[in-house]
């Protein structure tokens, strides 16, 4: 037999509470209740706080979320970006990464992503008793070999280090002008092709336009970060052109 309050022929446990008359299923914006921090899937409620039953459990709302796929047709903005970014960051705001402090509880670390007129990538390390620096295998076809630059820092004693030869996409050959054994740190930068399939496609650093949508090149090659679509002018310009700038 059904439990009290259940409809006839029902077999599920618990009390059945009929819906209120004049049911309204319009969506209601969230943002109140108990904040969720674990990455669950997002759902949308249809009751606001003023009409929520006082004797019911408080609902949860999502402060963190998990989405398998997302399509953004017009715009996206984020004052803080945490994680890996592939592409070019540009806009009115600087683009930081923000992480918990590794050793000091309750503190965080924020750094700003380096900016430049290229998609620069680098490798660094240390060599001893050899004059060959091996470049990553995956650089072959990924970077413009003509953009390779090398910085050497000698360790322990003067070595008069010289870049002798750049074997494009494979090795850097160095030598000591004073004939001493080589012991140094190295840092090697190169510019990644904007489009590895079309080396003629270049980054257009300055262009005419009001928003990133006006970029004259192929915007599909870029992830635009830092652009605040709610504010159409930079923060160093006043909203009212006749007023003063507040920084």
Domain shared by 2 and 65, yes or no: yes
Domain shared by 228 and 107, yes or no: yes
Mean pLDDT on 19-25 = 57
Classify residue 204: in a domain, yes or no: no
Range in 13-17, 28-32, 173-177, 194-198 with the lowest mean pLDDT: 13-17
What predicted TM-score, i.e. pTM, was given to this entire model?
0.54
In angstroms, the CA 209 to CA 215 distance is 7
Domain shared by 47 and 82, yes or no: no
Domain shared by 131 and 175, yes or no: yes
Total domains, the chain: 3
pLDDT tens by residue, 135-171: 998 888 889 999 999 999 999 999 999 999 998 768 9
Domain shared by 227 and 111, yes or no: yes
Round the average pLDDT of the chain to a whole number and report it: 75
In angstroms, the CA 76 to CA 73 distance is 9
Annotate 198-235 with DSSP letters as a single string. -TT-----S---SSGGG-SS-GGG----S--TT--S-T
Residue with tokens 């590794």: 102
Is the pLDDT at 245 greater than 50? The verdict is: no
Domain shared by 111 and 62, yes or no: no
pLDDT tens by residue, 57-101: 877 776 776 666 666 666 666 655 555 555 444 444 556 677 788
Classify residue 199: in a domain, yes or no: no
Domain shared by 128 and 168, yes or no: yes
Is the pLDDT at 4 greater than 90? The verdict is: no
Final residue before a domain boundary, out of 37, 70, 103: 70
Local confidence band at 33 (pLDDT 50, 70, 90 cut-offs): confident
Domain shared by 105 and 127, yes or no: no
In angstroms, the CA 193 to CA 200 distance is 9
Cβ distance 118 to 159 under 8 Å? no
Domain housing 59? 1-70
């Amino acid at each position: 037999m059904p439990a009290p309050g259940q409809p006839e022929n029902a077999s599920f446990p618990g009390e059945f509470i009929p819906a209120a008359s004049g049911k309204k299923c319009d969506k209601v914006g969230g943002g109140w209740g108990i904040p969720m921090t674990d990455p669950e899937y997002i759902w949308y409620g249809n009751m606001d706080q003023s009409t929520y039953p006082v004797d019911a459990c408080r609902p949860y709302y999502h402060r963190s979320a998990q989405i398998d796929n997302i399509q953004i047709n017009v715009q996206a903005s984020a004052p803080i970006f945490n994680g890996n970014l592939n592409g070019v960051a540009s806009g009115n705001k600087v683009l930081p990464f923000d992480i918990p402090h590794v050793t000091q509880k309750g503190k965080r670390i924020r750094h700003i992503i380096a900016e430049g007129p290229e998609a620069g990538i680098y490798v660094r390390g240390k060599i001893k008793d050899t004059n060959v620096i091996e470049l990553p295998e995956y650089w072959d076809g990924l970077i413009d070999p003509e953009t390779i630059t090398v910085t050497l820092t000698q360790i322990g004693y003067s070595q008069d280090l010289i870049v002798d030869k750049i074997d494009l996409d494979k090795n850097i050959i160095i030598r000591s002008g004073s004939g001493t054994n080589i012991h140094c740190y190295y840092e090697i930068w190169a510019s990644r092709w904007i489009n590895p399939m079309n080396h003629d496609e270049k980054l257009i650093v300055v262009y005419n336009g009001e928003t990133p949508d006006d970029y004259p090149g192929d915007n599909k090659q870029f992830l635009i970060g830092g652009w605040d679509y709610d504010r159409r002018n930079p923060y160093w310009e006043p909203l009212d052109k006749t007023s003063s700038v507040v920084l």
